[in-house]
Chains A and B, each alone.
Chain A
């Protein structure tokens, strides 16, 4: 990726109910901005925040623009951040538009690389971020395998295999004499291409449909009534939930957005585990249980002043595992230990000591939660961008394949069709790994007896 180009990427996790941020960096930023800026106001040029509308070529959407002309930006280049409604199709359309206009999709770590090269980050910091990005892509691969197992990856895998066969047929025709390979009829090539195209469109529709199921990382507050969950929820989300000092007043699962470092998570407050009395309570608890099952992280909120034996029993009920985090509350009250005892901490992903009422320890809590979720250091959201990137890659692959097919039908030579197939494969490679020329040759040699 040349430093002279202008890159664009989704810089925030696109989730349902959240806003999305598209970040653009590079010398072409102002041109791109001028091209997408819609409305009567003049195109902003100075540093600042501007409400407006984003023209994605098909329509406009509400926009909050954050403009940071270089060198006063993360990368020291001109940077524009487009804050858009968190609707995945709209975000995809906006990114697509920027790319159409000449922006390059930013590979992982690109903003950081630029920040370093332009002297904005020192080496240690840049190394830290990038090793995290590296770790993230590994994690992403695993996440993709886990999250999408039996889903998109399988579909893409099968389509890739079909596409590879098609490419091998084309390449064999191009690289070997017909006496070697036999003539592959054009009909067969176009039929295969159509089948791949149909499959890709189905995969894209499938991925689009399932996207809203996922979103931001899910963090759930759990604990006995009156441990301070609702108060903490309120503090973290800046006041969205009902707070009461009477036990059991949280009657339903509440949801809010919690900003952790540079990223956002979806925070849920649930009914306390002990107060299953009336129907409403039961319903709320049901939701709470379900959420606890599917959560990325469970914050176990504990009143540090309670007797150790009760806490031990509660600890037992919570179970162990990576997704559990202890929040030691009420540390500002006299008699409450400053840290949770060792036996409560054991086997958990982490802990923090706070005062939900006074706010003490909350920044540290956020840092530790950020680390647990792997969101820290500017590399945040990589894993959760996955779905958006997949859709983007699929759409690009479909466009490339279909335009190549149309040209081939109109009489364009095979090598141009092959070029489209190569480009479409490269798009899919962004999802599921790469095909090298060697892989293609393996396929060709496996299929044809070639050579004089």
Chain B
């Protein structure tokens, strides 16, 4: 077989000489959603981990919306769970409203979302970190990277000039931590500036400092940075809102947890609350329009680009001038505090303007502000410099995960953290890298998109980004990932045993459906179930032979979808198989794209710039045509043969 896939890391493992001075195996800088999953995943794989955070009491803080999941994102949470991560479990323990979204559409695009009590969430996440053997929490301000000497001859000449091995971090108080790999998960904290109207302050989150030194170190290493913007809405005092005038939105009657580890008998653990809905109006829009010149974005004080999918209220009003009203969700941040998150009016207008427009909204006439909305502008690393292990291509020992890579969202961050932490630990242990494909997981789509892109707005997951959406359902994340995770050591025996039991029951039910005949016909139950109007729950409730499964809602839903989607799934599976070889044909880290004779200039240049990791990844780049891919395949083969001969 030619071009047999190997899962390689971009750099040779750290030489033995360096290992003597390590205080840890892996350092994770940042205690956000990426940092938590990174630290836990590395530790589950046996690494000694230090999680370095400015404030140990802020581990797992929900900086923005206190919600987990959502369309495209809920699937990621289920995948993190299937890979042994904690985001789903923490959400289950702390959720105060659970909703399955898109229930009126098909199973492949349904996604769970929950609102969590932000304080409970932080506490539970912190507890998981503290209880994980092998993780030490180090409170301190990581100011700079520690460079060490290591082999660089595997890098390209132009990269070698500025490249250094990273072997640790130096804290503001002078302490130095040494490790084989450093995973930066500093979120929006790199050279972060917060804007509210004309006033600006350094900092990545209200009340917390910016990380200044690390950006400079990254630039020293020749890493290209960009600038992005994100925003957050005002927080209002619960008792200042006139709730009686607002529509209520409650959670699902029978909420479903994210995690397979969550005990369904005790779920949900927290009392469930309702959210409320209100709308902006013309008066609101007038206030915003009259003051638009005072918005840092519109006044040009913010250079970074904000997300289109989560626009500020300024953007909504200015860009969609014909829309008469915009919706707001008033979401309690906690069961025990008075903070209400005004979802839908993210803004960086001056404080008095925020107060004026918010008080023009029904129910909020006397709203009191606990915190004003603000925008954060921050450095991010152009993610095309990453390998798909989340290690930087040109800096051995340094990996990046989360918003630092230009993404948005806790879920996207957690997923990257898990993959980055796991791969850092695997690299040090001299084990094969762990990379997911686009057809295996949304995490694979996320990774593959990132490493060939230079985002101009924070990257958020959408189901439309996944070509194999029908394969990547939230309810089959465990079937897609858990066995593999267990092989690696990411998932414990207990979770694996539960998964196998669940699979056994599903398989038994499927067999049964194939055997049972519809009364008065030759059709099997399975064939019968393919019809859109037939429900398995109904069949199970009325067929004695299926009594064993009756009431197992999630299992029945999964099996029903498997049966109903079988034809489409088969087609997508064939597509995947066809592409598999291409997907798994790796492009070596040292491959010289400029030597691609015979290829058009445009294709060669874009390949050299984005340096795709696999042939499949190369084939999806705009401007690269099928003949270019064939030519690339041939050059890769030559490269391989020469390598083997040398």
Contact = CB atoms under 8 A, between A and B. Distances in A.
Contacts of B309: 445, 450-451
Contact of A451 (B311, B603, B626, B628): B311
A419 interface: yes
Interface in B496-549: 532-533
Interface in A70-125: 104, 107-110, 112-113, 116-117, 123
Contacts of A137: 625-627
Given A126-B634, A137-B627, A449-B326, A131 B597 contact: yes
A445 B106 contact: no
A130 B467 CA distance: 28
B308 interface: yes
Interface in B596-646: 597-600, 603, 620, 622, 625-628, 630-631, 633-634, 637-638
Contact of A416 (B326, B470, B582, B603): B470
A411 B571 CA distance: 20
Contact of B71 (A113, A128, A131, A175): A175
A419 B634 contact: no
Interface of A is mostly: helix
Interface of A: 1-5, 104, 107-110, 112-113, 116-117, 123, 126-128, 130-131, 133-138, 171, 173-177, 179, 410-416, 418-419, 422-423, 434, 436-437, 440-441, 445, 449-452
B597 A116 contact: no
Contacts of B211: none
Interface string B472-501: 000000000000000000000000000000
A413 B571 CA distance: 17
Interface in B210-237: none
A416 B530 CA distance: 13
Contact of B626 (A4, A109, A126, A450): A109
Contacts, number: 152
B105 A437 contact: no
A179 B277 CA distance: 11
A385 to B, nearest CB: 14
Contacts of B622: 434, 436
A109 B309 CA distance: 40
B105 A110 contact: no
Given A128-B598, A445-B309, A108 B627 contact: yes
A131 B596 CA distance: 10
Contact of A450 (B65, B109, B308, B603): B308
Contacts of B327: 179, 452
A449 B597 contact: no
Contacts of A177: 71, 101
B630 A133 contact: yes
Given A109-B631, A437-B464, A416 B71 contact: no
A259 B41 CA distance: 65
Interface stretch (B26-34, B48-56, B315-323, B398-406): B315-323
B465 A131 contact: no
Interface in B300-314: 307-311
A98 B561 CA distance: 31
A127 B463 contact: no
The 4 closest A-B pairs by CB, nearest first: A413-B106, A131-B598, A411-B532, A2-B581
Contacts of A412: 106, 532
B102 A108 contact: no
Contact of B462 (A136, A138, A441): A441
A105 B71 CA distance: 35
A405 to B, nearest CB: 14
B578 interface: yes
B263 interface: no
Nearest to A440: B464
B463 A134 contact: no
Contacts of A176: 71
A107 B316 contact: no
Contacts of A126: 634
Interface of B: 2, 65, 71-72, 101-102, 105-109, 307-311, 316, 319-320, 323, 326-329, 343-344, 462-465, 467, 469-470, 532-533, 565, 568, 571-572, 577-582, 597-600, 603, 620, 622, 625-628, 630-631, 633-634, 637-638
Nearest to A5: B578
A416 B344 contact: no
B578 A104 contact: yes
22 contacts: A108-B626, A109-B631, A117-B634, A127-B631, A127-B634, A130-B631, A131-B631, A134-B598, A134-B625, A134-B628, A136-B627, A137-B625, A174-B102, A175-B464, A412-B106, A412-B532, A413-B532, A419-B470, A449-B316, A449-B323, A449-B326, A452-B329
Contacts of B568: 416, 419
Interface centre among A127, A130, A173 (most CB of B within 10 A): A130
A416 B108 CA distance: 9
Contacts of B71: 174-177
A425 to B, nearest CB: 11
Given A104-B578, A117-B633, A411-B532, 6 more contacts: A107-B626, A110-B630, A112-B630, A117-B2, A175-B72, A176-B71
A126 B635 CA distance: 10
Contact of B578 (A2, A411, A436): A2
A111 to B, nearest CB: 10
Contacts of B603: 134
Given A134-B599, A415-B106, A1 B464 contact: no
A174 B600 contact: no
A176 B73 CA distance: 12
A174 B572 CA distance: 19
Contacts of A418: 469
B72 A123 contact: no
Given A1-B578, A415-B106, A434-B622, A131 B630 contact: no
Contacts of A123: 634, 638
A113 B464 contact: no
Nearest to B600: A134
A5 B581 CA distance: 10
Contact of B581 (A4, A116, A415, A441): A4
A177 B329 CA distance: 13
Nearest to B581: A2
A177 B578 CA distance: 34
Contacts of B599: 131, 134
Contacts of B631: 109, 127, 130-131, 134
Contacts of A116: 634, 637
Nearest to A110: B630
B95 to A, nearest CB: 18
